[in-house]
Every structure is written in C-alpha cells, then in structure tokens.
Amino acid sequence: MSAPPRIPERHAGDRQPVTIPSLRDRRLLGEPIVMVTAYDHPSAQVAEAAGVDVVLVGDSAAMTVLGYDSTVPITVDELLMLTAAVRRGLRTPLLVGDLPFGSYEASDEQAIRTAQRFVKEAGCDAVKLEGGGTSVDRARAIARAGIPVMGHVGLTPQTATALGGYRAQGRSTARALEVANDAIALQEAGCFAIVFEAIPAEVADALMEHMEIPVIGIGAGAATDGQVLVFHDLLGIHDGMRPRFAKRYADLRSEMVAAVAEYADDVRARRYPGPEHTYSIAAEELQRFREQLG
C-alpha cells in the first residue's frame, strides 16, 4: 500500500492554466516557453510543481517507460492510458498528446478520429504529429476539426529509418530547405506551435524569421521560443542512448539503484522492518488470539 494519488488542488494566487493564446503572448514578449515530457501521474505532478508551461506525453514513452527499441511500436491505447494518468496529475500546464506512428498518416478521417480520442478519452488540450508532406494535410484536417495541433520537424523519430537514423537534420542546404518548407507549411496549415528537433542552431535561427507561431526546440539551439526535454533524459532516470543536446540535471537512476540495493541489504540483514514500521495489538487481545489459535 502506498499513498493514494492526489490531483493537485488549485489555490488563490496559483498560476493560471496555460492556454494557446498565452503561449502566443509569451512568444511576443520574448519569454521562453518551458516544455517537458511526462508519462505517468508522479511525473505529471513533478512537472506541475516545477511550474512548466507545456507537458507532452511523447511517444518517447515507447522507450522511456515501455522498453521498446523505438517509438514505432507504441499503440494508441498504450499512449492513451499513460496520457490519462498524466492528465490526472496536471492543473496548470497545457497538455499535448503525441499521435503515435500509424495512427494518423492514412487519411484525414483517421487523423481526426485519433486526435479526438486523445481529447475525449485522455483529456488532452492538443495533439502533436510528426513530419511534413502528408502530415501537413493531416494537421490541417485536425485543426479544422477544432483540435489544436502541434507540428514536429527536423529529426522525426517515427520516420528515423528513412532519415538515415537518429541523426541531426538540415546539415546540407537541400535538407535545411526541406525542413524549412515543412515548418512553414505546417504553420500555414494551422498548427498552433511546432517542435524543431536536432537541427543546426544557425538553421533554426534563420528559420525563426519566418515563423509566427511558438517554436519549441530540442537540439535546435537557443533561438527558438522555448525548449523541450525528455523527462528521463533530464533527470538521468534511464541508462539508454543520450543525445548530445540532452542536458542532464540529475542522476536519479544511480540514486534509485542505491536506494533499492540498500533496502535489499536491510531485508537480508533483518534490519528492515524495524519496530517503527510495524503495527501493535493490545496485550489482552494478543493473549486471547494466541489461546484461540491453539
């Protein structure tokens, strides 16, 4: 048994919920937007308490919490369950759900239906999809159906194989132009914001002059309107591949391993549980219990 989960209560003086217009204002005022991923109730509560602006339940959950090798296998149902748990831990940040690979590409109808599930079943404020090309049409269809949609260009992990692996994009004139064209097309299609992932800082900087919506960078330098990091990279929770842009602010995995190892030592040495961890019974009740037990 552990403590029951609690939805953070709102108090007078608390931050106002982050909205799409407020993100636009932040961009105009030049105030950086802070985005982080979260995948469950405790990580959502951490994001809430830390005062971040946008929480993304990324399909990176495939690797960070479900143990898959890439983002490709994660299903809509798996991501919906994680997203609903995050929703229950958030009050203030804008909640964005990632549409998984294979859940939106086939048609506008498929894209709208999946986006609606993220809003209706998991309580998302917005959804995110990856890439340009047909994704531009899907983004337009989702936005027209009344669901705010975030784009994602540069390194798009769902199609990393086609991009030659998990590597920086836009390092040649031709590829930088493709990234730029995708970003502008997604903006024109009605995306309320966009992620630039793993592109040279100079390319992002030049492209910012053409962007009118908030741009959130990850491995795209400092010129974007905000930054996003994967929760497990930021906190050092997993020991998988770490991209060069993933600044580590803690090494929680080492602390977690050390704590569990200390618990194991305590159990084996009979140091745990101690008297302070046990329940008591009145002497006469115990006496009667022993007698009746025979």
Q: Please give the residue ranges that form the binding site for ligand KIV (CB under 6 A).
A: 37, 56, 58-60, 98, 152, 195, 197, 218, 228, 230
Active-site annotation holder among 31, 188, 197, 212 = 197
C-alpha triplet 141, 142, 147: angle, nearest 5°: 145
> Cβ 182 to ligand KIV, closest distance in Å?
15
Q: Is 150 helix (H, G, I), strand (E, B) or coil?
A: strand
Residues 6+ apart with CB under 8 A from 263: 272
- Concerning whether 109 is annotated as a catalytic residue, the answer is no
> Cβ 230 to ligand KIV, closest distance in Å?
5
Pick 143 or 230: Cβ nearer ligand KIV: 230
Pick 48 or 59: Cβ nearer ligand KIV: 59
Instruction: Give the span between the Cα atoms of 245 and 124, in whole angstroms.
Output: 27
Q: Could you please report the per-residue DSSP string of 256-277?
A: HHHHHHHHHHHHHTT-SS-GGG
Q: Is 130 helix (H, G, I), strand (E, B) or coil?
A: coil
C-beta nearest to ligand KIV: residue: 58
Residue 188: φ, ψ to 5°? -70, -25
Strand partners, 127: 97, 149
Residues 6+ apart with CB under 8 A from 28: none
Pick 37 or 83: Cβ nearer ligand KIV: 37
> Cβ 228 to ligand KIV, closest distance in Å?
5
Pick 89 or 157: Cβ nearer ligand KIV: 157
> Cβ 238 to ligand KIV, closest distance in Å?
13
Enter the tokens of residue 51. 């005062």
Residues annotated as part of the active site: 197
